[in-house]
Amino acid sequence: MVMEMKDYLEIPLNNLCGITYTNPDREIDSLEWSFIEEISKHTGFFLARIHIKKAYKCKYSRKIDGFEFEYEGKNYVLEKGKIKDLA
């Protein structure tokens, strides 16, 4: 049996607890873009102005539903659809 090489990374969601974004000059990939769209859906914020710092699973969650992000110079946390201003 020959193992086929893949050019992408596979991490089952149950093994992925969170992602931290540390490089502010990074190019936004499709995963980060999906997080930005999720934040915008719950907050009404403009997509291009959202800068994610961290995405993670909240307690007892099966999907990533917690986000730490910056929007127009202010830091916010969105957990399970509820937003908190960290000012």
User: Is residue 12 in some structural domain?
Assistant: no
User: Is residue 8 in some structural domain?
Assistant: no
pTM: 0.82
DSSP run (H or E) holding 67: strand 66-71
| pLDDT value for 62 | 87
Distance separating alpha carbons of residues 17 and 63, to the nearest angstrom: 9
User: Is residue 3 in some structural domain?
Assistant: no
User: Is residue 66 in some structural domain?
Assistant: yes
State the 10-residue block means of pLDDT for the chain, 87 residues long: 73 86 90 95 94 94 93 95 86
Considering its fold, how many domains does the chain have in total?
Answer: 1
| Measured CA angle at 18 (ends 15, 24), to 5 deg | 140
User: Is residue 76 in some structural domain?
Assistant: yes
Q: Which residue segment(s) compose the domain that 38 sits in?
A: 21-85
